[in-house]
Structure 1
Amino acid sequence: MNVKIAKRAAVAGGIAALSVGLMISPAQADPTSPNTFRQLVGVGSDTTQDVMNGLAETITDPNHTPSNLLVASYNATNPGYVPGDPAHPLHDTIVTRSGHAAIARPDGSGAGISTLIGDTAALDVDFARSSNGPSTVGTNLTFIPYALDAVTYAVRSSSALNGGTLSLAEVTNLYKCKNTDGSTPAGTFPAVGGVEIHPLLPQVGSGTRKFWEATLGLSDSSLAPCVSDVAADGTSVQEHNGTALQRAGDLMPFSIASYIAQTNHATTGVQDRRGTAVLQTVNGTQPETATSTLNTAFPVTREVYNVFRTSRLTETDIRNTFVAVQPGESNQSRVAKLCTPASGTIIEKFGFAQVANCGVITIKGNS
């Protein structure tokens, strides 16, 4: 079903002429105005919200209905969040279609996919951003890759752990509440060099949480008692938000791409949430190259996806924007808008690397 919203007045000025490749826009936290409604609505992953926000500002709607821009990407959490202010909570609601009721803002890949699956009547959401592949076998959903990320662990800059040389096996032991050599600690928490370790995970529903657990051989149902998704001050640990690192022994998974985008916030326009977080090496491999780009040789990498109902992939705007050319298409030179060289430049600007399989539709699942 091709969801079209009642036509609204066209946005004035140069926006109407904007197309992929004409400029590289900073990321916008949600569409630029509360009354800016666009045809294709995406929600979910914190990891990819900024790169998709940036891409969304460069993709025009061919018929300019309901807006001159085609894609609306909504942040995982309230961009206007003010700690301690009930009027500006971290988790709020969003209105994605003119005249529709507000829906809870999906926080993370899992929440985005769940919202997509459950959105069978109102059609408030067209796709989910996901930093993970499918969780269950099936064909109802298609996970379309478009970029590469890598994940490492971060610690406080002032911590004695900063600059350490942990291997992935040693990090795994710490998340199993063991010392780095696999021995059982004397108390609840393991230690490294005399520093008591507090392994942290992002909030439930986070794609990075799911990915990090899978990488380390963990699961929500069998987490060791020293692992927590609550920071020392009692607040929930949010993805790629370094303010959760409050003790010398705190460590948390962190998207390298997100860290790069936050570091370059003056040009990317994303909120700098790093706090005192510093990315660490794994197996002796640096997370970034000498030119401060994603090190694609890092030992822990992952593709990131936009997830659609498989039944909608033949819709013209979805196909032309997200889906690579398919066998049998009359125009074999067609390139999905997210897979063009211009989009590749934006993808790299936000810390990710390009992927050769951008736009393929072979990755399926039911959730």
Structure 2
Amino acid sequence: MNVKSYAKVGAAVGAAVLGLGILTTPASADPSSLTDYRTLAAVGSDTTQYVMNGLANGTDVVVGTGGNKIVASWNAVGGLGDPYKTKPTPATSTECQYTRANTNGSSNGIARLSEDITNGGTTCIDFARSSRGPKASVPGTDLTYVPFARDAVTYATDLNSTVPANLTKAQLAGIYTNCTYTDATGTHTVAPLLPQAGSGTRQYWLDSIGVTAPGACVNDTVQEHDGTAITAANQLMPYSVAQWIAQGKGIAEVPNRRGESFLRKIEGQSPTAGSGSSLALNPTFIFSRDVYNVVQTSRLNEAAISEALSDICAASNTIKTYGFGTIANCNARTLTGGLNS
């Protein structure tokens, strides 16, 4: 299958691609069945998997003549099978076959896209979902980070936590360096959790609090945005605000992994605004960020990719349904990085 051939999209990526952002019953899992191959495949970030899955699979999100969907967004965790194939290469071939562990997280998704490019552009992967921008240490223009929504990251603790509900950036740096923080009453020991290697949220969090590498005392093997990992009163972990909001909405196929976790303030700022059904992320929170679909720069103007990226921005209702904020710079194509950036 020549996925670069726009003729095989099924007429065209129509004006309805990825929808008008109207989800009556959001659906946000792998394409069903596992052989529901589509023109474009996305892997990577756990943070954005549900919103991208919703954009790809939602009941009212259809494309092309006959309602054909063209984006397959594969879960970072869970999903319908492991390993899985993103494109219909011969059944006996391992080309375009991946395991969840190998594509879990922003960095792993970007790495697999980079391998795809290095191997001659087999187009097994078209988008790498990413909750972080490019690494400054890997300059270049091979990849373009296309923003589509706004997220924020704060720390979460359990309901009966002994960790303060408001910490400073300096206190968080101490926690993720030596597992202690200092306040007016003295120095206190805590047990910080950190997402698994390859997580974009992990890198964003450490960069935001000014920590180059976590201390040896930090448990850095937990799955991101899984509040059930917090099992003790002295534990805390970084959490996507959009994910936390979406997990509590009862959206079909978005598992509620919050457990007894609660989002906390940083520098006195609340990560959320509103309450109840109007709860939303605070777009000006101290640790707020754009989230991206990463694409091979040379493919940006391919008809299917260009149309899909553009129409994602029109799906503002869907983006907000999954807890994210809309952004003025949606679909900007100016942020670049090298392979594995």
TM-score range, shorter chain: 0.7 to 0.9
Q: CA offsets per residue over residues 279-333 of structure 1, 9 Å max, x none? A: 11111222211231111121110100000000101101111111xxxxxxxxxxx
Which residue in 2 is equivalent to 1:327?
Answer: none
Which residue in 2 is equivalent to 1:365?
Answer: 337
Which residue in 1 is equivalent to 2:270?
Answer: 286
Q: Identify if the C-alpha distance between structure 1 residues 248 and 362 changes in structure 2 by more than 3 Å, giving closer, same or farther.
A: same
8 Å CA contact 1:166–1:283 kept in 2: the answer is: yes
8 Å CA contact 1:242–1:277 kept in 2: the answer is: yes
1:182 to partner: Cα distance: 8.2
Structure 2 residue 87 is matched with structure 1 residue 104: no
1:97 to partner: Cα distance: 1.3
1:179 to partner: Cα distance: 3.9
In 1, Cα distance between equivalents of 2:8 and 2:143? 29
8 Å CA contact 2:18–2:55 kept in 1: the answer is: no
1:7 to partner: Cα distance: 7.2
In 2, Cα distance between equivalents of 1:285 and 1:216? 15
1:28 to partner: Cα distance: 2.1
Which residue in 2 is equivalent to 1:253?
Answer: 238
Structure 2 residue 324 is matched with structure 1 residue 352: yes
Which residue in 1 is equivalent to 2:160?
Answer: 158
Which residue in 2 is equivalent to 1:328?
Answer: none
Which residue in 2 is equivalent to 1:225?
Answer: 216
Letter in 2 for 1:361: R
Report SS of the residue matched to 2:4.
coil
1:19 to partner: Cα distance: 6.0
Q: Which runs of 5+ in 1 are unaligned?
A: 11-16, 81-87, 230-235, 323-335
TM-score, structure 2 as length reference: 0.85
In 1, Cα distance between equivalents of 2:21 and 2:139? 40
Q: How does 1:131-170 map to 2 (within 5 A)?
A: 131-135=131-135, 136-161=138-163, 164-170=165-171
Which residue in 2 is equivalent to 1:198?
Answer: 191
In 2, Cα distance between equivalents of 1:99 and 1:22? 32
Which residue in 1 is equivalent to 2:248?
Answer: 263
Which residue in 2 is equivalent to 1:85?
Answer: none
In 2, Cα distance between equivalents of 1:27 and 1:250? 33
Structure 2 residue 118 is matched with structure 1 residue 117: no
Report SS of the residue matched to 2:201.
helix
1:68 to partner: Cα distance: 1.0
Q: Identify if the C-alpha distance between structure 1 residues 148 and 19 changes in structure 2 by more than 3 Å, giving closer, same or farther.
A: closer
Q: Identify if the C-alpha distance between structure 1 residues 214 and 22 changes in structure 2 by more than 3 Å, giving closer, same or farther.
A: closer
Q: Identify if the C-alpha distance between structure 1 residues 224 and 182 changes in structure 2 by more than 3 Å, giving closer, same or farther.
A: farther
Q: Which runs of 5+ in 2 are unaligned?
A: none
TM-score, structure 1 as length reference: 0.79
Which residue in 2 is equivalent to 1:297?
Answer: 284
Report SS of the residue matched to 1:75.
coil
1:22 to partner: Cα distance: 7.2
Q: Identify if the C-alpha distance between structure 1 residues 227 and 358 changes in structure 2 by more than 3 Å, giving closer, same or farther.
A: same
Letter in 2 for 1:242: G
8 Å CA contact 1:5–1:98 kept in 2: the answer is: no
In 1, Cα distance between equivalents of 2:52 and 2:288? 19
1:170 to partner: Cα distance: 1.6
Cα RMSD (Å) of the superposition?
2.7
8 Å CA contact 2:179–2:217 kept in 1: the answer is: no
Which residue in 2 is equivalent to 1:75?
Answer: 75
Report SS of the residue matched to 2:251.
helix
Q: CA offsets per residue over residues 80-111 of structure 1, 9 Å max, x none? A: 5xxxxxxx8xxx32111123532223000000
Q: Hey, which of these two has a bigger chunk of strand by percent?
A: 2
In 2, Cα distance between equivalents of 1:110 and 1:271? 23
Q: In the comparison of the two structures, how many residue pairs are matched?
A: 315
Q: Which has the larger radius of gyration?
A: 1
1:224 to partner: Cα distance: 1.7
In 1, Cα distance between equivalents of 2:306 and 2:10? 26
In 1, Cα distance between equivalents of 2:162 and 2:40? 47
Q: Identify if the C-alpha distance between structure 1 residues 310 and 6 changes in structure 2 by more than 3 Å, giving closer, same or farther.
A: closer
Letter in 2 for 1:308: V
Which residue in 1 is equivalent to 2:20?
Answer: 21
Letter in 2 for 1:240: H
Identity of aligned residues (%): 40
Q: CA offsets per residue over residues 180-199 of structure 1, 9 Å max, x none? A: 3389x9xxxx62xxxx4011
Using CA pairs under 8 Å that are at least 6 residues apart, name the structure with larger relative contact order, 1 or 2: 2
8 Å CA contact 1:312–1:318 kept in 2: the answer is: yes
Which residue in 2 is equivalent to 1:338?
Answer: 312
